[in-house]
Amino acid sequence: MDRPRFRRAFLSPRFWPLWCGLGLLWLVVQLPYAVLLTIGRVLGALMYRVAGDRRRIAKRNLELCFPEKSAAERKRLLKENFASTGIAFFEMAMSWWWSRERLAKLAHFEGLEHLQNAQREGKGVILMAAHFTTLEIGAALLGQQHTIDGMYREHKNPLFDFVQRRGRERHNLDSLAVERDDVRGMLKLLRSGRAIWYAPDQDYGAKQSIFVPLFGIQAATVTATTKFARLGKALVVPFTQERLADGSGYRLVIHPPLEDFPGETEEADCLRINQWVESALRACPEQYLWAHRRFKSRPPGEPKLYPKRRG
């Protein structure tokens, strides 16, 4: 995919409201990090009150995944989750516009040698991640240390797409954006020894998935990780990030490559992936994107797990 380029059309009046919003956001994120965390939590509390559909989806997911917790514990977790989502809005802007030096001070890395070893050996890497609210800033911080490519879906608004891609790619000018449906392009990059950020933790429909347990619930799980690893001759290296409670930044962990992957069957691989996803979510549940309907697809004959959306 070509690098994002500024167009004269972006100066037309229809984009002025977005320019104003982006300008205001740029000004806000010049504030100290601790202040941004506080403002983010306030924004999250507001979202908790007004984003009814998202709140109900997240609440249902927590009920399904943490039945052992009391209703009061899940409610506290839900509010913390919305606070984390509010903070993520400013983390996105920080990753786009903070200086590299200022941003780098927030990073606390573990396991970078796993990516470095793969690079030395010329092996491609599927950097297996999950949709945490910190994913934008996590990718930016890792991009300062190691070239990573990313799966990408073009935004409908061309100006926002330009700003987002430019902000993401500035941390490493060698990084590439790969269209989410460009399987050939992804395999080519993996075979050439590159590392690609990939998250197999969402429900993309039953057609391209198989059902295996996640938190004890049959969940539609994509088989693409196995296919990419086999055809791309690539390692699968888990990657997690966590916003630290003491306000000192982020703990980013590159875990050792999965051994004996791919395995004997796609089902066994998907189960193994879901077990890893579950362990990552249990370690930091308040920072996960619970507003996604992870169990939307159901095996034949099973009832829907989410209430109908309100009009």
DSSP state of 105: T
- Mean pLDDT within 96-120: 96
Q: Average pLDDT of 51-65?
A: 97
The string of pLDDT tens digits covering residues 147-164 is 898 877 788 899 998 998
According to the model, what pLDDT value does residue 308 have? 80
Tell me the C-alpha distance between 223 and 1, whole Å. 25
The reported pLDDT for the residue numbered 67 is: 97
- The whole-number average pLDDT for the span 71-98 is 97
pLDDT at 310: 66
Distance between CA 165 and CA 169 in Å, rounded? 6
Nearest to 153 by CA among 189, 88, 204, 195: 204
Amino acid making up residue 288: Y
Angle at CA of residue 54, ends 127 and 56, nearest 5°:
120
Mean pLDDT, the chain, integer:
94
Tens digits of per-residue pLDDT, 210-253? 999 999 999 999 999 999 999 999 999 999 999 999 999 999 99
Q: What is the DSSP code (8-state) at residue 285?
A: G
Domains of the chain by residue range: 9-287
Lookup result for tokens 């950097």: 127
Residue 1 in this model has a pLDDT that exceeds 70: no
Instruction: Round to whole Å and give the CA distance between 195 and 190.
Output: 7
CA distances from 291 to 59, 129, 133, 209 (A): 8, 17, 11, 20
For residue 2, what are its two tokens? Answer: 């070509």
pLDDT at 255: 98
Task: State residue 215 phi and psi, 5-degree precision.
Answer: 55, 35
Peptide bond between residue 262 and the one before it cis (omega within 30 degrees of 0): yes
3-state secondary structure of 278: helix
pTM exceeds cut of 0.85: yes
User: Is residue 311 pLDDT above 60, yes or no?
Assistant: no
